[in-house]
Amino acid sequence: MNADDSLRWWLIAGICVWFPIVAYYRILAHRTREPLDRRQEGLFMLATLRPAGLVFFVSLFVYLVNPARMAWSAIVLPVSVRWSGVVLIALAIALLFWTLRTLGGNLTDTVVTRRAHTLVVKGPYRWVRHPFYDAVALLLLAFSLAAANWFMLLVGGLVFTLLAVRAPREEARLVARFGEDYRAYMARTNRFLPTRSGG
């Protein structure tokens, strides 16, 4: 088995670990059957974020099934860099699991908070306000590096940029919900990069 085939199998393994974790915590959070008004994200975000994510995962799926179909956007990367993508997948999955476990029933896929939402400032939230976005960014980068594909890297960068643009709206909702407690939390943490003190 050559390096390309090995890397593809590791990517498939990463997806087989990542997907059940996300599915489990999403199902757990949706047990309340509480409707979430995604329109509060704004029309621009509704029209761009999820479609861009879909484009990324369709291109990844096409690459995994038949790499030749994504050869038009292949880039030459050292094998060591591509294997670093596999290592990043493991780190991203660990961060994702830690984040979702810490969030519990507070998990949503939008900027809206749940009726029983609580302010989470422990686990990875002790160091950054959006560790879920960090985990997504790491996964997108990791898959792109392992696949050595500039199109995936470009679309993955767009997805994270859109998440970063959405973050202030999400934080405004959290300020409206938790007031000074969330403002104090914002004062001691960064959005995406860890602080030295860890809160």
pLDDT in tens, 117-157: 888 999 999 999 999 999 999 999 999 999 999 999 999 99
Identify the pLDDT of residue 2: 84
pLDDT exceeds cutoff 70 at 190: yes
pLDDT digits (tens, 9 = 90+) for 141-151: 999 999 999 99
pLDDT exceeds cutoff 90 at 59: yes
Q: Is residue 198 part of a domain?
A: no
Q: Is residue 51 part of a domain?
A: yes
CATH number for the domain that contains residue 71: 1.20.120.1630
Q: Are the C-beta atoms of 130 and 191 separated by less than 8 Å?
A: yes
More confident residue, 59 or 173: 59
Q: Among 130, 60, 140, which residue's Cα sits nearest to residue 92? A: 140
Q: Is residue 199 part of a domain?
A: no
Q: Is residue 193 part of a domain?
A: no
Identify the pLDDT of residue 168: 93
Distances (CA, A) of 190 to 14, 108, 130, 185, 186: 28, 21, 9, 9, 7
**What are 140's two structure tokens?**
């997108």
pTM of the model: 0.91
**φ/ψ of residue 194, rounded to 5:** -60, 145
Instruction: Compute the distance between CA of residue 51 and CA of residue 72 in angstroms, rounded to an integer.
Output: 21
For Cα atoms 11, 12, 15, give the angle at the middle one, nearest 5 degrees.
90
Q: Is residue 148 part of a domain?
A: yes
Q: Is residue 14 part of a domain?
A: yes
Instruction: Compute the distance between CA of residue 162 and CA of residue 142 in angstroms, rounded to an integer.
Output: 18
The lowest-confidence range among 95-104, 108-117, 172-181 is 108-117
CB contact set of 117 (below 8 Å; sequence gap of 6+):
106, 177
Q: Averaged over 157-163, what is the pLDDT?
A: 97
Please give the tally of structural domains in the chain.
Answer: 1
Instruction: Compute the distance between CA of residue 147 and CA of residue 114 in angstroms, rounded to an integer.
Output: 37
The lowest-confidence range among 2-6, 18-22, 63-67, 94-98 is 2-6
Q: Is residue 109 part of a domain?
A: yes
The lowest-confidence range among 55-69, 78-92, 98-112 is 98-112
Q: Is residue 195 part of a domain?
A: no
Domain that residue 30 falls in: 3-188
